[in-house]
Amino acid sequence: MGTKVNYEEFLKEFDLRLNSYFEQFGDNICCRKGCSECCEKGDYPLSDIELQYLMHGYAELDLDTKRTVQKNISVMQRGGACPFLINKECSVYKHRPIICRVHGLAYYYKNEKVKIPHCANTGKNFAKIYKNGEFYGTPIKLNLDTYHILEGIYSDIKNLYDWVHTENN
Ligand code: SF4
Ligand code: SF4
């Protein structure tokens, strides 16, 4: 799965699966355009192929949007907002990394722990069935973390902050 075409094929199939997972949770999912809490704080770990694909998305942006992204990169902080977030929307949505596609779901990850999006604490996804640290739903029975999804395929996974600062130097 080393080429852009193969990665796009992989994403096509992966997105179909994710859509069915999101549908499964019905009205416990509040994700919508303009809801951007999940892009305002985070590490955004991604692999080399995802970064290349993200940069294809960046290359397609108009000049003004590229300038805004560059400006955001220059002030980016570890754990802070994603530089591709502009006016509360993802400027590279079609090209966003796996973690951004998965974010918002509840799933099992390491040691059978359940991963819940942070926005469950701010009245959004799963707020109705997540109380005092307890999840009262049925998580997806698959580890959807980027590390796991790409395990054995891509080893080079870094946080977005580290990628963009390496790329820009
Ligand atoms: S995961 Fe949460 S913060 Fe992000 S878009 Fe969905 S509802 Fe909004
Ligand atoms: S790439 Fe897009 S979806 Fe992912 S964190 Fe950045 S703005 Fe959000």
Residue 2: predicted pLDDT: 54
For 44, 56, 70, the CA distances from 75, given in Å and listed in that order, are 16, 22, 9
**pLDDT surpassing 70 at residue 59:** yes
Residue 35, φ and ψ in degrees, nearest 5? -90, 115
Q: From the CA of 158, how far away is ligand 1's center (Å)?
A: 23
CA dist., res. 90 & res. 93, Å (int) = 5
Residue 112: predicted pLDDT: 84
Q: Which percentage of the chain shows pLDDT scores above 90?
A: 82
Residue 167: predicted pLDDT: 58
Residue 165: predicted pLDDT: 85
101: nearest Cα among 164, 13, 169, 165 = 13
The mean-pLDDT minimum among 77-81, 108-112, 127-131 falls in: 108-112
96 Cβ closer than 6 Å to some ligand 2 atom? yes
92 Cβ closer than 6 Å to some ligand 2 atom? yes
